[in-house]
Homo-oligomer: A and B are copies of this chain.
Amino acid sequence: MTFKVTPWEVTGDVDYEKLIKEFGTQPLTDKILARLEKHTGELHYMIRRGIFISHRDLDWLLDEYEKGNKFFLYTGRGPSGHTHLGHLIPWILTKWLQDKFGAELYFQMTDDEKFLFSDKLTLKETNNFAYENALDLIALGFKPKLTKIIIDTECADTLYPLALSVAKRITFSVVRAVFGFQNETNVGQIFFTSMQAVPAFLPSVLAGKNIPCLIPHGIDQDPHFRITRDVLPRMGYYKPAALHNIFFPSLQQGNKMSASLPDTAIFTNDKPDEVKRKIWNALTGGRETIDQQRKLGGQPNLCSVFKYYYFLFETDDAELEKRRQACLTGKLLCGECKNELVARINKFLEKHQAGREAGRKNIGKFIFKK
């Protein structure tokens, strides 16, 4: 295998078809998408474009919904640094699902995990990032009444006792097989997946009745939820359903943005000139000379700038196709295309950063309290 995908490491050129087969998730077929569309009136562009690529039990979730059994949403963030645009992918879809279904969202900030898995970060740092990252969530427009942000180390009175019931049902063999843990793995890392399982049934505990759960998340997190899905029915709860997104492209080579390589990603707190510099340095599908590009056309399939339009900055399919054709035919050159992207990103970030600042006053409304 030339690629590796775990909750803590994504390397190589990810072959998503192979990954789906390996993880055993279900492709989002036309049939299930048509069923979803019946309820949402339209399909989100991320679903239409295959940015969300697979699922688990979405059909069951819709069965329940059609019986009047509403679901809640669960997603989260490992607060190891500032938020980059890749992190927003599942959150944006989650926001759309919240709006379409009026669903509650439980959002987990795993400051415990990021401390346990980092050589450098202190718990104070991961906890601070949890609050910083929460501002990004708030800036996307989630409804405070429907949204509860769980910061693991601050909600341990609630989470830890429930995590114990999960932990009791997971052996070392299981986490070794699923995560590749070794004898050198620390005992906090070994325990941690139990904490990540809790928000998938916490609302059922609080309500005193089973509530279906849908988790939109990056497909690298699937190993956690495979365990969660195995354990929860043994505790009398539903298996959570899931929707999986592929990774947001790096501005350089490789499949995924990385917070540890700042120039591969745009962060939500980047300033306009940083955005400009990063996009101008980005890997494109352009040719060596303008003449060649006019003659041969660009290669949008190799171009990280085009992918930025695809993932986030051109939500209109017709406009996106127009841009692709203009590139392929050599009409649109990289400079112009980059300039336009810089303008769109900076416009988005200006609004987003204002939303983050406004969120500082409202954050208390979003934080989960027992």
Name the CB-closest residue of B to A154. B157
Contact of A337 with B by CB under 8 A: no
Q: Which of A158-187 contact B (CB under 8 A)?
A: 159-161, 163-165, 167-173, 175-176, 181-187
Q: Which of A212-265 contact B (CB under 8 A)?
A: none
Q: Determine if B184 and A173 form an interchain contact, defined as CB atoms under 8 angstroms apart.
A: yes
Contact of A188 with B by CB under 8 A: yes
Contact of A346 with B by CB under 8 A: no
Q: Determine if B184 and A171 form an interchain contact, defined as CB atoms under 8 angstroms apart.
A: yes
Interface 9-mer from A7-15, A33-41, A190-198, A309-317? A190-198
Q: Determine if A164 and B115 form an interchain contact, defined as CB atoms under 8 angstroms apart.
A: yes
Bound CA–CA A155/B160 (angstroms) = 10
Q: Which of A93-121 contact B (CB under 8 A)?
A: 112, 115-116
Q: Determine if A171 and B153 form an interchain contact, defined as CB atoms under 8 angstroms apart.
A: no
**List of B residues within 8 angstroms of A290 by Cβ:** none
Q: Determine if B187 and A172 form an interchain contact, defined as CB atoms under 8 angstroms apart.
A: yes
Known: A156-B157, A190-B172. A112 touches B164 (CB 8 A): yes
Number of this chain's copies in the complex = 2
User: Digit string of A135-162 for contact with B (CB within 8 Å is 1, else 0)?
Assistant: 0000000000000000001111101110
Q: Determine if B187 and A164 form an interchain contact, defined as CB atoms under 8 angstroms apart.
A: no
Name the CB-closest residue of B to A152. B160
Bound CA–CA A165/B176 (angstroms) = 22
Contact of A51 with B by CB under 8 A: no
Contact of A363 with B by CB under 8 A: no
A231 to chain B, nearest CB (A): 11
Contact of A283 with B by CB under 8 A: no
Contact of A123 with B by CB under 8 A: yes
Supply 20 A–B pairs (Cβ within 8 Å), ascending by A: A112-B161, A123-B161, A123-B165, A153-B161, A156-B159, A163-B188, A164-B188, A167-B186, A167-B187, A167-B188, A170-B186, A170-B188, A171-B184, A172-B184, A172-B190, A173-B184, A176-B183, A187-B193, A187-B194, A191-B191
Top 5 nearest A-B pairs (CB, nearest first) are: A167-B188, A191-B191, A156-B160, A156-B156, A173-B183
